[in-house]
Amino acid sequence: MPSADNPRRSERSRAAILQATQELIRELPYGKISIEGIAARAKVGKQTIYRWWRSKGALVVDALHEQNAAGAQEAMALPDTGDLAADMRLVLRATVDEFTSPDFEPLFRALSIESLQDPALQQQIVERIYRPQFEFVAARFRSAQDAGQVRPDADLAVAFELFMAPMFYRWQSGAHPLTHDHADAVVDLAMRALAP
């Protein structure tokens, strides 16, 4: 296949495949999306996809990663106004917006489904998505510890989960609405739990 060995043409195919994946995830229930469907939308052969990705799940990780990268690495850094509660309210309200956004939510749903089905992919998600995000949060928490707003002995992974897990759980369970008011309530409780 000489075409796939042409770097410019390869790059175009790769971008078309990732875009087709993002589009289809927004348009269809995840179970209805196949590698065949992605290939047809991207106007490439199935074998071109399998040349770069071992599964639909691996493709979803790259599609989300690219969307995040487009939204910019710097967006992952947390605001630092000196007031952790105010900053975390912004972060958790933005999380609510993402979990209720037609652009973001379907991709996140696809990622969660694939992660539950494929332990190797789950570990890739931890390395490529969870850890970089956690590092930014941990840096913000350390600055709050220096400011006397968080106990110096707090476990920062547990502290991160204290803010983020309730948002995630509420989204996934569907038992109660995800709103900005709810985000604020979670921040109040988490701050109380972490106070020196």
Can you tell me which of 15, 28, 69, 126 binds its own copies, judged by CB under 8 A? 126
Looking at beta carbons only, is 51 or 109 nearer to its own copies?
109
Can you tell me which of 139, 165, 179, 180 binds its own copies, judged by CB under 8 A? 165
Q: Is 190 in the site for its own copies (CB under 8 A)?
A: yes
Can you tell me which of 75, 172, 179, 196 binds its own copies, judged by CB under 8 A? 172
Q: How far is the CB of 119 from its own copies (least distance, A)?
A: 8
Q: Tell me the Ramachandran region of residue 178: left when phi exceeds 0, alpha when psi lies from -120 to 50, beta otherwise.
A: beta
Q: Is 152 in the site for its own copies (CB under 8 A)?
A: no
| 151: phi then psi, degrees, rounded to nearest 5 | -55, 135
Q: CB–CB of 157/75 below 8 Å?
A: no
Q: How far is the CB of 159 from its own copies (least distance, A)?
A: 8
Q: CB–CB of 159/186 below 8 Å?
A: no
Q: Is 112 in the site for its own copies (CB under 8 A)?
A: yes
Give the other-Cβ count within 10 Å of 128's Cβ. 14
User: Which token pair is 174?
Assistant: 């569907």
Closest CA to 129 of 62, 188, 179: 62
Q: Is 30 in the site for its own copies (CB under 8 A)?
A: yes
Q: CB–CB of 62/53 below 8 Å?
A: yes
User: Which token pair is 50?
Assistant: 């399998």
Site size for its own copies (CB under 8 A): 43
User: Which token pair is 71?
Assistant: 């939204």
Sole window of 15-23, 27-35, 79-87, 89-97 interacting with its own copies (rule: CB under 8 A): 27-35
Residues that bind its own copies (CB under 8 A): 29-31, 109, 112-113, 115-119, 122-123, 125-126, 130-131, 134, 155, 157-158, 161-162, 164-166, 168-170, 172-176, 182, 185-186, 189-190, 192-195
